[in-house]
C-alpha cells in the first residue's frame, strides 16, 4: 500500500497546488470560514466516508475513513482559517478578500490533507483500522477550535493523533521534529490603571497613570530575568500601551495589553503570580488602582516522546527523494491549539520546510509577504502518508 499511496500522491501534486491557490485566493477569518468549510465538504461529497459538519464551536469538519479491517484509530488534522492581514505578495492568486490573508500556510495544510485523505479513502480496504480527518476551524483566535472539537467527543476513540505545520525554517524536503514540550503556551494580559488626572504643571495634585504604567512595563521584564529558572522559557511582551492624550494633561487612566509565552504550566503560574504581585506594588507605590486580567489561551504543546520517536524513525527510513532530511528542531515560542489534542491523545506535531526557492531570508508566518514553496505540499502529504503506513504496518 505504501508504494501505491506515494505514487498516487505524486500524480496529484498539481491538484494540491490548485487547491492551495484557490484557498489562498478566498481566505476567511477564524469563526467565519463558512465557505471554506463548504468547499471541504463538497470535496468529500459522494465518497465512502462519514462526514460531520459544524463540529465544535464553529465550522469544524470531521471525516471518518473506516478501514477494511478492525484496528486502532488515528486522527490527522489540518487547520483552515486565515488572518486579518492585507496581503503584499503580489502573487497571481493573491487574496481576493481585502484585509484577509492565508499568511500562516493553513491553505497548504488543507490542500495536502484533502488529497491525502482522498487517496486513503481509495485504499481504505487495506487499512486495518480507522482514520479520522480533522479539518479544523479557528486556530488563530482564542479560544480556538481544537479544544471544542475535543470536548465534542468525536475523538474519544482516537488512539494517536498527528499533524504538521509548514514553516519557512528550511527548504522543501526537510522535515523537522521535537520531542516533549515543543511549542509555547500562551496567555493574554490586560492591565487597567486608574489614577487621578490633572494639569501638567501640577503633578503633585494628580496620580499619573502613565508613570505607573511605565513602571509596570519595566518591572514586568524582571520576572523572566529574576523570577524564572534560567533553564525555563518565558516571554512577556507588552504590545499595547494606550495612554494617548494631550501633552500638558496628566492622564488618569491607561490600558496595557500583553502577550505571555511559557513552555510549562508551572512557569505560567509563576508568571501570573509575579505579575499580580507587581500590580499590587504599583497600587501601593503610586496610589492608583490596577485591574489585571490574565487569560490563558493555548497550553504548551507536548509531543509524546514515544510517538515522536516513531515518527522520526519512519521518516528516516522513508528512502524517498522528496524527503531529503529529517532534523531535530529546537523548542519554538509560537503557540498552536493542536496542543489541546495532545493533552488528551498521545501524538506528534511536526514541521515541514517551505522556504521559497532562491530565498535566503524568507518572510516568516504571519507576515504580509509570507509565501511557501509549493513543493512542500507533496512533502507534507508524503510525510504524513509514511506515518500512516508505518502505523498500520503497511510498508510493502
Query: Has 291 been annotated as catalytic?
Result: no
**Catalytic status, residue 81:** yes
Active-site residue, selected from the candidate residues 79, 107, 139, 252: 139
The C-alpha cell at 339 is 496542543
Catalytic residue among 79, 81, 322, 371: 81
Q: How many CA atoms lie within 13 A of 83 on its CB side?
A: 16
Three-class secondary structure assignment of the chain: CHHHHHHHHHHCHHHHHHHHHHHHHCCCECCCCHHHHHHHHHHHCCCCCEEEEEECCCCEEEEEEECCCCCCEEEEEEECCEECCCCCCCCCCCCCCCCCECCCCHHHHHHHHHHHHHHHHHCHHHCCCEEEEEEECCCCCCCCCHHHHHHHCCCCCCCEEEEEEEEEEEECCEEEECCEEEECEEEEEEEEEECECEECCCHHHCECHHHHHHHHHHHHHHHHHHCCCCCCCEEEEEEEEECCCCCCEECCEEEEEEEEEECCHHHHHHHHHHHHHHHHHHHHHHCCEEEEEEEEEECCEEECHHHHHHHHHHHHCCCCCCCCEEEECCCECCCCCHHHHHHHCCEEEEEEEEECCCCCCCCCCCCCCCCCCCHHHHHHHHHHHHHHHHHCCCCC
Distance CA 353, CA 377 (A): 10
Which residues form the catalytic set? 81, 139
Amino acid at each position: 500500500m505504501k508504494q501505491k499511496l506515494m505514487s498516487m500522491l505524486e500524480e496529484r501534486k498539481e491538484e494540491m497546488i490548485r487547491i492551495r491557490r484557490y484557498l489562498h485566493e478566498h481566505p476567511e477569518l477564524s469563526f467565519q470560514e463558512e465557505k471554506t468549510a463548504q468547499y471541504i465538504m463538497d470535496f468529500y461529497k459522494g465518497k465512502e466516508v462519514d462526514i460531520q459538519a459544524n463540529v465544535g464551536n464553529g465550522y469544524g469538519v470531521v471525516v471518518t475513513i473506516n478501514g477494511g479491517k478492525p484496528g486502532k484509530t488515528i486522527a490527522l488534522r489540518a487547520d483552515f482559517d486565515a488572518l486579518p492581514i492585507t496581503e503584499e505578495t503580489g502573487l497571481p492568486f493573491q487574496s481576493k478578500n481585502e484585509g484577509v490573508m492565508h499568511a500562516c500556510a493553513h491553505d497548504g495544510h488543507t490542500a495536502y490533507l484533502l488529497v491525502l485523505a482522498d487517496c486513503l479513502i481509495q485504499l481504505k480496504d487495506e487499512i486495518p483500522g480507522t482514520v479520522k480527518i480533522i479539518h479544523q476551524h479557528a486556530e488563530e483566535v482564542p479560544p480556538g477550535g481544537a479544544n471544542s472539537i475535543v470536548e465534542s467527543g468525536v475523538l474519544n476513540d482516537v488512539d494517536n493523533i498527528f499533524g504538521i505545520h509548514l514553516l519557512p525554517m528550511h527548504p522543501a524536503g526537510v522535515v523537522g521534529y521535537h520531542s516533549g514540550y515543543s511549542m509555547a503556551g500562551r496567555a493574554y494580559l490586560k492591565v487597567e490603571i486608574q489614577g487621578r488626572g490633572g494639569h501638567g504643571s501640577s503633578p503633585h495634585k494628580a496620580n499619573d497613570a502613565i508613570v505607573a504604567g511605565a513602571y509596570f512595563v519595566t518591572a514586568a521584564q524582571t520576572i523572566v530575568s529574576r523570577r524564572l529558572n534560567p533553564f525555563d522559557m518565558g516571554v512577556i511582551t507588552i504590545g499595547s500601551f494606550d495612554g494617548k492624550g494631550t501633552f500638558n494633561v496628566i492622564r488618569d487612566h491607561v490600558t496595557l495589553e500583553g502577550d505571555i509565552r511559557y513552555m510549562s504550566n508551572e512557569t505560567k503560574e509563576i508568571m501570573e503570580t509575579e505579575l499580580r504581585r507587581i500590580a499590587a506594588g504599583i497600587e501601593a507605590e503610586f496610589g492608583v488602582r490596577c485591574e489585571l486580567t490574565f487569560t490563558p489561551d493555548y497550553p504548551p504543546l507536548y509531543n509524546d516522546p514515544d510517538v515522536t520517536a516513531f515518527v522520526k524513525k519512519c521518516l528516516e527510513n522513508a528512502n524517498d527523494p522528496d524527503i531529503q532530511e529529517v532534523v531535530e528542531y529546537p523548542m519554538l515560542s509560537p503557540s498552536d491549539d493542536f496542543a489541546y489534542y495532545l493533552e488528551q491523545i498521545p501524538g506528534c506535531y511536526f514541521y515541514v520546510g517551505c522556504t521559497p526557492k532562491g530565498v535566503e531570508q524568507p518572510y516568516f508566518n504571519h507576515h504580509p509577504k509570507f509565501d511557501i514553496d509549493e513543493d512542500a505540499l507533496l512533502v507534507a502529504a508524503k510525510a504524513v502518508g509514511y506515518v500512516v503506513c508505518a502505523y498500520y504496518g503497511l510498508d510493502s
